[in-house]
Structure 1
Amino acid sequence: MALVYVNQVLFTVYVLRVHGGDAAFVARYLPEGWFALADGPAMRAVAERVPGPELLAPSVLRVQAFLELPFVLLAYVTVLRWLDRGLYRRVAGSWLVWAASLSYTFVFCAVEWGLRNPYTTEDIAIRVCAAAVTPPLVRWLARRDGDGGPRVSSPARLLAFAASVWALGHLVLTVYDTALLYNLGHLGGRLPGAVAAAAVLAAARLAAGRLPGGEPGRAVASVRHALRYALVLFLVPALAVRYGPNLGSPPLAGAAGLLVCGAAAGLALRAALAGAGPRRTLLWCGQASAALAAGGLAGFAAVRAVTDVYYEAGLLRGAAVCFGTAVAVCAVTDRWLDGRPVGPAA
C-alpha cells in the first residue's frame, strides 16, 4: 500500500513539473473519475525540490500496472490468514495462487485492452511480469509466517473477523479511489473514513486473540465451514466475477458467483451436519432460515442506509452486517438448542 502512494506522489510531481499540472495528456484516454491531483501548496513545494522530474515518467500507469496484482492478491490471502493460518499456508503453497495470479492478470489485461491507449502494450507486458513474481512472493511470506494466531471458530471471533474484513475492504476501496485511479486529491475527503476503518481493524485484530474460542454449535460451525470453503473456491474467479459486469458479461459473472456460493454451501452442509439425525437437521434448517432472513434484512438496511460513491462500499457494508447478524442468530439458537436436547442424534 505504501508503494502505491509513493508512486502517486511521484506521479503528481511529474505532472506538476513536466506538464504544468495538467493531466490531460493521459486523462483523455481514460474515463471520467481519474486524475484528481493533489496540487496544493504543500505538494507544489515538494515538487519544486525533486530533481530530474522527467525521469518520473514511468509513474504514469506503468508502476501501478506492476503493483496492482500483488496489492489485490496479498489483500485476499490476508483475509484467509485471519480466518485460518494453516489453511492460508496450504493455499499459499499450492497451485491455487498461480491460478489466481493468471486469472487476475487476464482480467487486468482485458480491462487494459478495453481502455487502449499509448501505454497499453507496456502495461500488459508489465502485468505479465507481475504475474510471474507475485506467487513466489506470496509463498515466501507464507513460509515466514508463524504457527500461532487464534483459530476463528467461536461466534465472538467470527464477529471480529467480519469487522476486520469490513475495515480492510474499506481501506482497499480508499486506495482504489485515491491511488489506483490517481485521485490523490480525494484523499483529504476520504481520510476520516480511512482512519476510522484503520481503528476498527486494529481493535478487531487486537481483540481476535483475546476473545474466547472453543468449539461452536452446529449452526455456527456451518457458517465457519461455509466461510472456509467460499474463500478458497472464490480465490481464482474473484476478480473475474468483480469485473464481469464491466467487461460485458454480467450474467456469466453472476452465475459464477452463485456457483461458488452454492458449492461452498454444499460442502459446508456436508461437514456441519455430519452425524446429525433427521430431527437435528430439521432444527438446523430452521436456524439457517432464521439467520438468512435476519441477515438479509439487516444487510439490505445497511446498504440502503448510506449512498456510496462506489457500489462496492455498500455491498461490503451490507455483507458485513448480514454476516454478523447471521452469526448472532446462529449463536443464540445454538445456545438455546444446546440447553434442550433434541434426541440422541443431536
Structure 2
Amino acid sequence: MRPVVPILDVTVAVSTAAAVLYRSRKPRDKQLSRFGPEPALAAVVALILLNQLLFAVHIQRAHHGDTSFISRSFLPGWFDVPRHNTTVTWLADHLPGPPGLLSPTVLRVQAFLELPLVLLTFAAVLAATRYVPVRATATGPYTTALTALLARALTLFLLPALAIRYGLTFAHPQPAAAAALLVLAAALRREDLRLLGPAAATLAVGYAVAVLTPGPYVEATILRSATGALLATTALCALLDTTRTRLVARP
C-alpha cells in the first residue's frame, strides 16, 4: 500500500465529518455573504491563468519546450504550450532561481484549483438566479425544494470535495463514494421527501449516461453522468410543478 493511501482515507473521513458537523451550525447574517461566490471564482480563474503561464515558463526553462515527459501519459493537447511567445520567453530568461523552481505548476497547483473552479462556477450559477426576473407564477414546490437542496449540498461539499475527488482515484474509492453520499444525506431535510421520485430518475439517467456515453477517463464520465442527471431532475421537477399548477387551477 502506498503511504498516501491511508493519509487520503483519513482526510476524506475528517473533512466529511467536519462538513456534517457544519450542517448544525446556525446560519450567519446574510450581510456577510452579500458579495456571493463571484469574487472567489474570479480569483481562482486568475490563479489558474497564472499557473498556466508559469507552467509554460517552467517547460521552457527546465525542458527546453518539450512536454513529452508528462504528455505521454495524458490525452493529446493537455500540455500544449505556446511557442515563441514573447512573455514566456522573457520570463524564462529573467526569472531567478534554479530551473526546477516552478515544477509544482506541473499537475500539482492545477489539481488543487480544479475542484474550487467547478464548485464555485456552480455556486455562481445558483447565485445568478437572484437576478432572474420573478414570473407572475411562483416557483413550484418541486423546483424550490431541488434548488434549496442543491445549494445546501454544494455548501457542505465544498470542504471534503478535494479529498473525496483524490480518494476516488488514489486511495480506496468505496469510502470516498460513501463520504460523498453522506454529505448529500446531511443536506436533506424533511421537505425534500417530495424529491424521492425525481431522485430515482436522477439515478436512472446518470447510470444510463455513464454506460452509454463513457468518457475517455473517469472524471469525464462522472461529469457527463452528473450533468445528465441534473438536467433530467430539473426538467422533471419543472414538469411536476407545471402539472400541479394546472390541477390546482382547474375549476
TM-score (norm 2): 0.62
Count of aligned pairs between the two proteins: 198
* 1:310 to 2:233 alignment: no
- Output the amino acid matched with 2:238: A
- Looking at structure 2, the residues matched to 219 and 58 of structure 1 have their Cα atoms a distance apart, in angstroms, of 53
1:143-186 superposed Cα distances (whole Å, 9 cap, x missing partner): xxxxxx532xxxxxxxxxxxxxxxxxxxxxxxxxxxxxxxxxxx
- Looking at structure 1, the residues matched to 170 and 204 of structure 2 have their Cα atoms a distance apart, in angstroms, of 30
Contact 1:4-1:64 at 8 Å conserved across structures:
no
- Looking at structure 2, the residues matched to 37 and 259 of structure 1 have their Cα atoms a distance apart, in angstroms, of 36
2:204 corresponds to:
297
1:258, distance to aligned residue in structure 2 (A):
1.2
Contact 2:57-2:89 at 8 Å conserved across structures:
no
* 1:12 to 2:52 alignment: no
Correspondence for 1:57 among 97, 100, 103? 100
* 1:77 to 2:56 alignment: no
Q: Structure 2 stretches of 5 or more lacking a match?
A: 1-47
Q: 1:305 to 1:7 in 2, by over 3 A?
A: farther
Q: Look up the SS of the partner of 1:295 in the other structure.
A: helix
1:325-346 superposed Cα distances (whole Å, 9 cap, x missing partner): 111111112221222249xxxx
- Looking at structure 2, the residues matched to 8 and 303 of structure 1 have their Cα atoms a distance apart, in angstroms, of 33
Q: 1:248 to 1:66 in 2, by over 3 A?
A: closer
* 1:240 to 2:163 alignment: yes
Contact 2:140-2:238 at 8 Å conserved across structures:
yes
Q: Look up the SS of the partner of 2:235 in the other structure.
A: helix
Contact 1:12-1:38 at 8 Å conserved across structures:
no
1:321 corresponds to:
228
2:173 corresponds to:
250
* 1:215 to 2:147 alignment: no
- Looking at structure 2, the residues matched to 212 and 241 of structure 1 have their Cα atoms a distance apart, in angstroms, of 39
Q: Identify which range, 333-342 or 235-244, moves more after superposition.
A: 333-342
Q: 1:213 to 1:293 in 2, by over 3 A?
A: farther
* 1:334 to 2:236 alignment: no
Higher RCO (C-alpha under 8 Å, 6+ residues apart): 2
- Looking at structure 2, the residues matched to 297 and 66 of structure 1 have their Cα atoms a distance apart, in angstroms, of 35
Contact 2:115-2:161 at 8 Å conserved across structures:
no
- Looking at structure 1, the residues matched to 132 and 184 of structure 2 have their Cα atoms a distance apart, in angstroms, of 29
Q: 1:254 to 1:301 in 2, by over 3 A?
A: closer
Q: Structure 1 stretches of 5 or more lacking a match?
A: 85-148, 152-207, 274-283
2:83 corresponds to:
43
1:220, distance to aligned residue in structure 2 (A):
1.2
Q: 1:257 to 1:68 in 2, by over 3 A?
A: closer
- Output the amino acid matched with 1:12: I
Q: 1:57 to 1:298 in 2, by over 3 A?
A: same
TM-score (norm 1): 0.47
2:129 corresponds to:
150
Contact 1:15-1:21 at 8 Å conserved across structures:
no
Q: 1:317 to 1:254 in 2, by over 3 A?
A: same
Q: Identify which range, 244-253 or 211-220, moves more after superposition.
A: 211-220
- Looking at structure 2, the residues matched to 263 and 74 of structure 1 have their Cα atoms a distance apart, in angstroms, of 23
Correspondence for 1:225 among 132, 136, 148? 148
Q: 1:14 to 1:321 in 2, by over 3 A?
A: same
Q: 1:211 to 1:319 in 2, by over 3 A?
A: farther
Contact 1:220-1:331 at 8 Å conserved across structures:
yes
Q: Look up the SS of the partner of 2:180 in the other structure.
A: helix
Contact 1:218-1:334 at 8 Å conserved across structures:
yes
